[in-house]
Structure 1
Amino acid sequence: MRIRSIDTLKGLAIIAVVIIHTEPFIATASMKGDWYYLGQSLQQLSSFAVPFFFVAAGYFYSRGISKESILSRWLKYTSRLASLLLIWTIIDGIFWGPWLEQMIKAKSAAPLLWNLNALPSFAAKRPDLFFFRGTAVPLWFLVSLIAGISLLALCLKLSLRPPALLAIGFSAYALCLATSSYEATFLGFGLTLPLEQRGPLIAFSFLTVGHFFAAHNISTKHSAPFLATAVIMIFCESALLSHLSGLPFQERPYLFSSLPLAACAFLFATSHPNLGANSVLSALGSRSLGIYLIHTPVLGAVSLIRRAVVHPIWEIIFALLVISLSYGLVALLMRIPYIRKSVI
């Protein structure tokens, strides 16, 4: 049974993902001054999205374990993700970058064939990138989710309890931050590990939170104040790190506050199970995975018109355009047999 409030929060999260990648008030060089701070604030607020998706994934994955064995649940879940990863690695490889603009300039579909032919050489020259995120940066989510779920399944096979998993997850997360956002502080190790902010340990950390929620039926009437406090915390933490770096306020995707923010957002959803039922956000959330996967080639297609207008309102309209087109394409593809499985 679907939990509509989680769909609603997923709807907000997928809008946030598109905002992260369209970068309102940041991508356009002429947007400076107060627009810069508005853009950075939007990015920081949107940073809850992927952590929330991981928490939700950990929650629903763990709930399914009660109905089947750990091994069969893991095989079914990861094989599905692996097939999506393979399909979208090829699609994103073909429809790479500003592909529509390239086709218009070439007056043919030749650029798409060039992109396809370049896939093997890209994999050979940069196997680290190819096997970590395929042919598009957002695909790191699938790679890390597969690895994170595998780690979670291993821990469950070892009969580790939810509190122990939370402790391991937090330790893994602290290690990631010590080699990324906090690398230059007294908490850092003085080195930066590759893929420190997008990888299996990040995924595993948030998956353990979702597993904890699945094991404990938690709800509270104070979820809204908790969520508001977590939002304030992440802005304060980001501002502090920016100050320590001698920089103006700058968004950071993963901070210590990201864990409580994602947890409080999920707690807010579970405490209000009917929130947003039959709303636009709930509809977006129910198709969030498809929108997440398809928005990259959509963004590449409409990148040409991004530069056509320089206006603050256009910055928001452009992000909404990408979301709307992505949703429409997902709805269309879901009607086509065999293809629909690539977007759900």
Structure 2
Amino acid sequence: MSQHRVASFEFGRIIATIAIIALHSQIFMQTPLFNGQPLLGMGLNQVSRFAVPLFFIMAGYFIQPRLTTERSPYLWRYARPLLIMWVSWSVIYLVLPFNFHIVSTEGYLAERHFYWQKLLATPLNTLFEGGLVHLWYIPGLLSGLTVITLLLRFKLARFIIPVATALFVFGLMAGSYAQLTDLSSPIFTRNGPFFSTFMIMLGFEVRRRNTQLSLKYSIIMVIVGFSLFIGEANYLSLQETGSFFHDFLFGTPLWALGIFFILLAKPNLGDHKFIHGLSKDILGVYLCHLIVVIYFLNIVRILDINPIISSIFAVPAVFFISIMIVRGLRKTPMARFLVR
């Protein structure tokens, strides 16, 4: 997450966070149905997939100058507060129950034991993820930055692009395309350095080379990248045991980078004190939002709320409550462990 105040990037981070909340809230995934498929929900799900790649690109862009000159010492200063928050939130998510029904019928320990066993079944993957699935962002970010820092440290900067590309291609071949390649990875390839290194590298190289695109060509890049992404998703869904839902595909870098170039070309986009005020809460919102989503969905099930109504209110409710949690946490002694 950026520490610098560029209005368009702050605005972009807010939109990306809202997209992540929409994705995790599974809006319109039950209804309406078209030919038995939640096409609206599926479309919104896929449209939201630009968000984390955009965060990675922004991180690479803003960290490039100091990472290039200071290398390992700066990486540690950057990583330390993020690791503290990752551990703190992981502990919270290991303790908080997720399923109200199981807690009420079988008890708290039964509900937690099932979840702990699930994490222990894949310990290496859990190490690169944390106490709840969305926390993979922090180990992913730091893994990618570590790869780039090591290459800089050993004066191998010329290998940043090929190494990042190799990791990205392997991540796809052993991830979304594994059904075609039969390749495998010891961890789920969305986690760790496979995709994050490539996305961080894009932002890193854009800053290093001072690259810019006009608004017109940035929009074209977004359209081409998203079209490729959707085309890949459709192709993979037609394969045996194929899925339509993917975090990263070959179209992802074009799509996310195009959005980044739009924000770069329009630096005053969203230049309003309201946006600046919200922007400082974004990392905290990202870290806490999923438990709010989980509890929101529990309440929806208990009250048997119409799925269309719940889909309409999910994103604003989760976003608002998450902001209130973050701002409340800032007033507690635990603030430095949980928010920035």
Once the two structures are TM-superposed, the CA of residue 115 in structure 1 deviates from its matched residue by: 7.5
Indicate the residue corresponding to 1:191 in structure 2.
Answer: 183
Deviations 1:295-335 (A, max 9, x none): 12212332222223124243131122111111121122223
Indicate the residue corresponding to 2:197 in structure 1.
Answer: 204
Unaligned segments of structure 2, at least 5 residues? none
Q: Which moved more, 1:318-327 or 1:41-50?
A: 318-327
Change (3 A) 1:260 1:333: same
Indicate the residue corresponding to 2:48 in structure 1.
Answer: 46
Taking the aligned partners of 1:181 and 1:119, their CA distance within structure 2 comes to 25
Taking the aligned partners of 1:317 and 1:212, their CA distance within structure 2 comes to 40
Taking the aligned partners of 1:213 and 1:120, their CA distance within structure 2 comes to 41
Indicate the residue corresponding to 1:240 in structure 2.
Answer: 235
Indicate the residue corresponding to 1:168 in structure 2.
Answer: 163
Q: Which amino acid aligns with 1:39?
A: G
Q: Which moved more, 1:164-173 or 1:278-287?
A: 278-287
Taking the aligned partners of 1:122 and 1:241, their CA distance within structure 2 comes to 27
Indicate the residue corresponding to 2:290 in structure 1.
Answer: 296
Q: Which amino acid aligns with 2:207?
A: A
Q: Which amino acid aligns with 1:239?
A: N
Change (3 A) 1:279 1:192: farther
Change (3 A) 1:128 1:169: same
Q: Which moved more, 1:273-282 or 1:165-174?
A: 273-282
Once the two structures are TM-superposed, the CA of residue 116 in structure 1 deviates from its matched residue by: 7.9
Indicate the residue corresponding to 2:260 in structure 1.
Answer: 266
Taking the aligned partners of 1:122 and 1:183, their CA distance within structure 2 comes to 23
Helix, strand or coil at the partner of 1:47: helix
Taking the aligned partners of 2:288 and 2:259, their CA distance within structure 1 comes to 25
Change (3 A) 1:284 1:43: farther
The 8 Å contact of residues 169 and 205 in structure 1, kept in 2 or not, is answered as yes
Helix, strand or coil at the partner of 1:335: coil
Taking the aligned partners of 1:246 and 1:93, their CA distance within structure 2 comes to 31
Deviations 1:138-159 (A, max 9, x none): 1111122222211111011122
Indicate the residue corresponding to 1:61 in structure 2.
Answer: 63
Taking the aligned partners of 2:118 and 2:39, their CA distance within structure 1 comes to 36
Change (3 A) 1:258 1:120: closer
Alpha carbon RMSD of aligned pairs, Å? 2.8
Deviations 1:252-275 (A, max 9, x none): 221000111121111111111111
Indicate the residue corresponding to 2:154 in structure 1.
Answer: 158
Match of 1:314 among 310, 317, 325: 310
Once the two structures are TM-superposed, the CA of residue 21 in structure 1 deviates from its matched residue by: 1.1
Match of 1:136 among 111, 132, 135: 132
Deviations 1:44-89 (A, max 9, x none): 11111111111112222223336x6212101112222211111111
Helix, strand or coil at the partner of 1:220: coil
Please list, as runs of the form range in 1=range in 2, the aligned pairs for 1:5-84 lying within 5 A after superposition.
Answer: 5-26=8-29, 28=30, 31-33=32-34, 36-65=38-67, 69-84=70-85
Change (3 A) 1:130 1:146: same
Helix, strand or coil at the partner of 1:128: helix
Taking the aligned partners of 2:296 and 2:15, their CA distance within structure 1 comes to 22
Helix, strand or coil at the partner of 2:254: helix
Identity %: 23
Q: Which moved more, 1:127-136 or 1:166-175?
A: 127-136
Taking the aligned partners of 1:84 and 1:218, their CA distance within structure 2 comes to 33
Taking the aligned partners of 1:282 and 1:229, their CA distance within structure 2 comes to 31
Q: Which amino acid aligns with 1:255?
A: L
Indicate the residue corresponding to 1:255 in structure 2.
Answer: 249
Helix, strand or coil at the partner of 2:191: coil
Once the two structures are TM-superposed, the CA of residue 167 in structure 1 deviates from its matched residue by: 2.6
Q: How many residues align?
A: 330
Q: Which amino acid aligns with 1:64?
A: R
Taking the aligned partners of 1:13 and 1:288, their CA distance within structure 2 comes to 10
Change (3 A) 1:128 1:341: closer
Taking the aligned partners of 2:294 and 2:241, their CA distance within structure 1 comes to 34
The 8 Å contact of residues 11 and 283 in structure 1, kept in 2 or not, is answered as no
Question: Structure 1 residue runs of 4+, over 3 Å off?
Answer: 113-126, 243-247, 279-286, 335-338
1:4 aligns with 2:7: yes
Once the two structures are TM-superposed, the CA of residue 336 in structure 1 deviates from its matched residue by: 3.4
Please report the TM-score for the alignment, with normalisation by the length of structure 1.
0.85
Q: Which amino acid aligns with 1:314?
A: S
Helix, strand or coil at the partner of 2:179: coil
Once the two structures are TM-superposed, the CA of residue 215 in structure 1 deviates from its matched residue by: 0.7
Q: Which amino acid aligns with 2:327?
A: A
- Higher relative CO (CA 8 A, sep ≥ 6), structure 1 or 2? 1
Change (3 A) 1:246 1:87: closer
Once the two structures are TM-superposed, the CA of residue 98 in structure 1 deviates from its matched residue by: 3.2
